[in-house]
Chain A
Amino acid sequence: MIAISHCSKSYPSQNGEPAIPVLAGLDLTINDREFVCVLGPSGCGKTTLLRLLAGLVLPDAGELTIDGRPITGPSPECGLVFQDFALLPWADVLANVAFGLEVRSVPPAERRARAQALVDAVGLAGFERHYPRQLSGGMQQRVGLARALAVDPAILLMDEPFGSLDSQTRRALQEDLLRLHHQNRKTVVFVTHSVDEAVRLGDRIVLLSARPARVEEIIEVGLPRPRPDDLGTSPRFVGTKEYLWKRLKRQAAAGTGANVI
């Protein structure tokens, strides 16, 4: 279980102006094996929340714990998937997928076997020796996903992972992610600015307020899993989306820029 209590974080601004508060006393609990989507207006601090969970930054105040242990730095329990993929351009697909294992000093043979299994799982069999620049954006993010899963984390942290992909590719990756999640249930914290994506993927949706972010509302999606093929036409799906849109618009208007979603 992930517990975030009264968590605050601000970033120092340039030219000696006062620090910009990004999170202000945020509280959130995420259960094991739950798929949580974090939704909020642009620039509200979604990514900061994820970086805190990843242990890449520490909170100014408040506490974050995983199974009761405070987060003091990057934890082997977490696997990260990045918005900009963050692949090593000089390494091929297999070496990229194996990166987390390499860092953890897993022996080469085991590393290769495990990386190969994940390459197969994300549908990249046959592309092991390709380099990132030889792959489309969607395939690159499959590599990013495989790399995160290769270390077998209990928690998968995803920072707008499909944000830069075209809509078809995005749908394909969403479906693959749902399939992988169904096969091997992990806790997933998925940051997105897409309402459609949040409802499609999540068990719960955490709606954040404009900066400084607090939890504005938590929505139970309540759609069945595995998600049916005709999800897009289900009244519940459409209704939840409409509702979230309205809430999000209000949040964005309350923020600094009026329509910056």
Chain B
Amino acid sequence: MSSDAATIASTEPAGTPGGATGQDWRPRAASLLGALVIWECAARLLASPVLPPASAVLAALIAMTASGEILGNLAISLGALTIGYAAAAVVGVGVGAAMGRFRPVEVILEPYLNALLASPALIYVPVLFTLFGATRLTQVGAVFLHTVFVITVTTQAGVRNTSPALVEMAAAFGATERQIFWKIRLPEAWPFVMTGLRIGVPLAVKGMVNGEMFIAFMGLGALVQTYGGRFEPDRVLAILVVLILVALAGTSLLDAVDRRIRRPA
């Protein structure tokens, strides 16, 4: 053993994706509690019909859960969300990888990708409705179109930025082009792919609500439409809470999968 073996740059555990560590929850909980108190007080002071107090939203949430409205519609929404998101992940990673790897594919597809990224995804919903009517396909399609382009563009960036030194190293050891893709390009692009997938979760939830609000008779989006029309802001906000929880749960699930994949063999 030689002298330099003793100098270790750092010994922190490898690969902790996501920001939060075990210590962060205290200030976060305090902040959340503070915000709720401010909300409650402000709403009671203003006594405005558009700003229900936090306690009223909580009561609405409990009532709607008890009546089965939330769970029934949540199940419908989650189905569309899962299918649409999974399809977007597969297509986005596939097309993005092809674009990042093969310059001609990139040259041909990049203008379309940029155009689609720039367009507000909400405008796809009426188009889908025209095509598929008030069906699940519209619902799933809305989720897909809200999500797929971001995943494509991040994957493309990741695969394109493979370091030539590592590719050359693999080639020198006799790796085939296929092995280089699976053992070098994809792992190197993985943080980019994960970023796209993480950004994609809240976008998919948005797509789901946008689609359902337009179709207006199924899922949580339809519920928003109903209570929005009846001007019951406490119920609308209660659904919003559920939607936020869905997005957070989705992101956490993704992080858990990521940690499992990155765990050394």
Contact = CB atoms under 8 A, between A and B. Distances in A.
Contacts of A176: 2
B107 interface: no
A76 B1 CA distance: 29
Interface residues of A, number: 42
A30 to B, nearest CB: 18
B28 to A, nearest CB: 29
B5 interface: yes
B67 interface: no
Q: What are the 9 tightest A-B residue pairs by CB atom distance, in nearest-first order?
A: A138-B4, A172-B2, A86-B169, A100-B173, A80-B172, A123-B1, A103-B175, A169-B4, A131-B14
Interface in A51-79: 54-56, 74-76, 78
A245 to B, nearest CB: 28
A74 B174 CA distance: 6
B173 A138 contact: no
Contact of A136 (B1, B7, B184, B262): B7
B259 interface: no
Given A56-B168, A90-B190, A134 B9 contact: yes
Given A86-B166, A100-B173, A133 B3 contact: no
B173 A135 contact: no
A86 B166 CA distance: 6
Contact of B187 (A86, A88, A129, A130): A88
Interface stretch (A3-11, A91-99, A187-195, A230-238): A91-99
Interface string B115-139: 0000000000000000000000000
25 contacts: A74-B172, A74-B174, A80-B172, A80-B173, A82-B165, A86-B165, A86-B169, A90-B187, A90-B190, A91-B264, A99-B183, A102-B183, A103-B174, A123-B2, A123-B5, A124-B5, A125-B1, A127-B5, A134-B9, A134-B10, A134-B11, A138-B4, A139-B5, A168-B3, A172-B4
B171 A56 contact: yes
A151 interface: yes
A86 B9 contact: no
Interface residues of B, number: 32
B260 to A, nearest CB: 14
B171 A74 contact: yes
Given A86-B165, A129-B264, A172-B4, A92 B183 contact: no
Interface of A: 54-56, 74-76, 78, 80, 82, 84, 86, 88, 90-92, 95, 99-100, 102-104, 123-125, 127, 129-131, 133-139, 151, 168-169, 172-173, 175-176
A151 B184 CA distance: 19
B10 A74 contact: no
B179 interface: yes
Nearest to B264: A92
Interface string B156-193: 00000000011011111111000100011001101000
Nearest to B191: A90
